[in-house]
Structure 1
């Protein structure tokens, strides 16, 4: 009985000193280990589609920006930049965050033949409200010029992201930008 008590005391002391502690828990849950990077994602194809809406969503491992298009989404250029600039003028856009993604869709936010707007943000500085998001800090309008539409996405740090297109609903499509919460 004394041997069992002595061994139990030794084990408890070792645990207390951290000598037998289990391995450190990973800071990133296994289902959030995303194989994305932070380098530019591009597809240079121009689109006959037009931008109709911009929206966002919160997910467990990332924040999402969605640009809805009337027609097929094809081309885009999404990259980290020192500052996001307005289409046409090149003037810088003020954005909250410590890193900035310039999101350019190779589709206008107007009907090319008539110039009639297909999307006009209610607030150019806050295209969508991301105030409660983990990674996003601000989504701002940078304009639509010469068949391209640009948004500035302020994020809390230079984090990995991915870009892809989805078909639908109907004849429309979506350009999706996901930014991870951590590396």
Structure 2
């Protein structure tokens, strides 16, 4: 007799367990839809010492669920014609050639130096017309979570320098794709932002 009371209890638990599986799966699906913003980027300087002969064509920005993005469009840059860069946090943005301080708004300043120039000597014209100290042409940071300000610091001897004002000193990464260099700055230090 005892066996018959055990079997209905086991069946009842099995049915209850299968009813709970869709609820658990639904919760897992909902949490997977939330962006996992974990990263291991850190905030230390990032460098590549390559030195190609290329020209900067444009600088643009974009937004992602986990980070804000700065993109340097540089035709001719590739895995075989790598760009050089130096990206790091600075207390004050100083123009490379003169040492002139370029004011940049934000809680922290990320200096981005790229080995690409803004003047085409063959054509005798600027490939990226910007003036030192001015906001980046065509860049509107309204509504960005991390980016506050973006200033052109200048272009000298094959190097172009930009100051990126960010909300706080946050982790960032730098990587190269064909014809562009990408700088992503995270919205927060933690995961799930």
Is this a same-fold pair by TM over 0.5?
yes
- 2:141 aligned with 1:130, yes or no? yes
- Deviation of 1:45 after TM superposition, in Å, equals 1.0
- Deviation of 1:116 after TM superposition, in Å, equals 2.4
Tell me if the contact between 2:41 and 2:172 (Cα under 8 Å) persists in the aligned partners.
yes
- Mapped to 2, the partners of 1:175 and 1:154 lie a distance apart of 18
- Mapped to 2, the partners of 1:149 and 1:93 lie a distance apart of 14
- Mapped to 2, the partners of 1:123 and 1:48 lie a distance apart of 22
Q: Return structure 1 stretches of 4+ with deviation > 4 angstroms.
A: 112-115
- Deviation of 1:107 after TM superposition, in Å, equals 1.1
- Mapped to 2, the partners of 1:69 and 1:156 lie a distance apart of 27
Bigger share in helix? 2
Structure 1: segments with no counterpart, 5+ residues: 1-28, 168-172
Tell me if the contact between 1:131 and 1:138 (Cα under 8 Å) persists in the aligned partners.
no
Give SS of 2:41's match.
coil
Which of 69, 79, 86 is residue 64 of structure 1 equivalent to? 69
- Mapped to 2, the partners of 1:144 and 1:91 lie a distance apart of 13
- Mapped to 2, the partners of 1:123 and 1:86 lie a distance apart of 8
- Deviation of 1:132 after TM superposition, in Å, equals 1.4
**Bigger-Rg structure (1/2):** 2
- Deviation of 1:70 after TM superposition, in Å, equals 2.1
Aligned to 1:91: 100
Which of 109, 120, 128 is residue 118 of structure 2 equivalent to? 109
Q: Deviations over 1:60-109 (max 9, x none)?
A: 00000000012115100000011111231111111110100110001111
Aligned to 2:38: 33
Q: For structure 1, which segment, 118-127 or 141-150, has the greater mean C-alpha deviation from structure 2 after superposition? A: 118-127
- Mapped to 2, the partners of 1:55 and 1:124 lie a distance apart of 17
Q: Deviations over 1:132-161 (max 9, x none)?
A: 100000000000001000000000100000
Q: Give the alignment's TM-score, normalised by structure 1.
A: 0.77
- Mapped to 2, the partners of 1:158 and 1:107 lie a distance apart of 26
Q: Give the alignment's TM-score, normalised by structure 2.
A: 0.73
